[in-house]
Amino acid sequence: MTSEKPFVRVRRKLKEAKNHATSQDKKSLLVEDECNPVHELKEYILSSFGQTADLIMENVKIAENEGMLFYLDSAIDKSQLQQTLLNKHTYQPNSHFDLKTEEGIRNYCEQMFGGAGYKLVQTADEVIKEMLNGSFTIAFKSFPLFICIGMPNSNLRQVTEPTSQTVIRGPKDSFVEASSINLTLIRRRIRNANLRFEEFHIGNETKTQVYIGYMNKIANEKIVEEVRKRLTNINVSAIFESGNIEELIVDKTLTVFPLAFNTERPDTVAGQILEGKICIIVDGTPFALLVPAVFTDFFISSEDYYHHYSISSFLRLIRYISFMIVLIVPSAYVGILTYHAELVPTQLLIKIMAQREGVPFPAVVEVLIMEFTFEILREAGIRMPRAVGQTVSIVGALVIGQAAAEAGLISNLMVIIVAITATANFVAPVYSLSAATRILRLILIPIAGFLGLYGVLLGLVVMVAHLASLRSFGVPYLAPIAPLSIKDQRDVFIRFPYWGMRRRPSYLRTAEPIKQQKTGSNTPPDMQRRNDG
């Protein structure tokens, strides 16, 4: 058996036929090739893909009509191809199929590929696009209309539990890298004809599939149109992850705060779509984007709606308190010890100073050393092999912290502060917010070293002013706190009972502001007296 690629063999045989033909035969052969749609498509595909190893081009004969089969071996499901196309009955002559007309080709497709989702295209560019998306193409010499049938490779990661947003109670499925599966996970939760998905192809080289999803008759059409416009205006060479899309579509503002909410949980996306937000699904990544995003979104977990509202409210307050601990505690420690020691009770101050008696560094340097050491350990734990990463990070933190304290480089209280701060940083349900607080914490620490608690307060005022200036697709980032909306406070710092949250967020200006009809909690029936006697 020869090792030549199929398209090389076809080209060689065609060349030999031309060399052995007579002059009259050559003229007719040239005329036939020039008028042959298969020959023109083959040459265009060869010029587009070159000598790539996964391009397959095979001669076929269907219903007494000659043609060719084109597909990329790496992009299609071969087992499905064999079941659908390579079945013997597909190639059996059928006299009632007239493949020389458009109507005849359509009749053939309806009978042979009726459930396979076929497409009839007329240009070579469309054929190339369909092949790259996992389709195979059948071209006939008799008529310039090409059959494209989508059979993308199904060797994908299966739906598993979320890795970055785990919950105790709630759905355990998460998005995967295939956008078709992600759309299915959302559609399974919202069985409503008003759920819309729109497709875009972004990236001059990658042509990455990007979808936006929203609820028609609920979502604000102006926001939907703004999302469409920003996606359409993207002009880059490649898109590989939703983070690339996030940087390109959010408001151009120098900020460390995330202006788009990212999640790998389908239930979170479905719930936010019903609230009136727009989701962005990018093929090749399990993380979807939700816009517009406001600051309070990053303190809300989907699990809050699966527990009793009292427990959910308590946990949500814990998240807000943890955010303030991460920001303030290390810098407040530096400011108090450096400039405001009189604020500390005398007994506590004596113990703190006794521990710091042999420490050779000032408080600000001590805190920065420990913060950077912990960041190194955390990053090493993430990048190292999973089998040893967690062990190295935990053991490394304990050993280094204890050794540094015994050596007199840092105080024991400093180890406690860094541990509390690091633990509180992981309370945030979304990683992008915890990454922002890490940067802000490192900014506030040297400010506290120069200006004390006044510097910390000044830094917080500047941060709040900066948050108030941010916008996410025209929506104020601090909404519904600033501007204040009383009616939207039922699901911000605390969560009201599920039957009490009737309205969608007013800052989204949805077409349908009422989410559910007015109802109340069930009351127990009147106790009936026992039967007499």
Query: Using one digit for the tens of pLDDT, what is the confidence trace for 238-253?
Result: 999 999 999 999 987 7
Provide CB contacts within 8 A for 519, sequence distance 6+: 499
Element (H, E) at 290: strand 288-291
Question: What are the start-end ranges of the H helices in 340-411?
Answer: 346-355, 363-383, 386-406
Angle at 17 between CA 11 and CA 20, to 5 degrees: 140
What is the pTM assigned to this prediction? 0.83
Whether residue 359 contacts residue 409, with contact meaning beta carbons closer than 8 Å, is answered with yes
Ramachandran angles phi, psi of 469, nearest 5°: -85, -15
Confidence of residue 18 (pLDDT cuts 50, 70, 90): very low
Q: Where are the domains of the chain?
A: 6-150, 179-293, 309-476
Scored b (16 or more CB within 10 A) or e, 210-244 reads bbbbbbeebbbeebbebbeebbeebeeeebeebbb
pLDDT at 22: 44
Element (H, E) at 102: helix 102-112
Scored b (16 or more CB within 10 A) or e, 460-481 reads beebeeebeebebbebbbbbbb
Instruction: Say which amino acid occupies 338.
Output: T
What percentage of the chain exceeds 70 in pLDDT?
86
Q: Does the pLDDT at position 397 exceed 90?
A: no
Q: Does the pLDDT at position 531 exceed 70?
A: no
Confidence of residue 64 (pLDDT cuts 50, 70, 90): confident
Q: Does the pLDDT at position 91 exceed 70?
A: no
> Angle, to 10 degrees, between the axis of helix 363-383 and the axis of helix 431-451?
160
3-state secondary structure of 289: strand
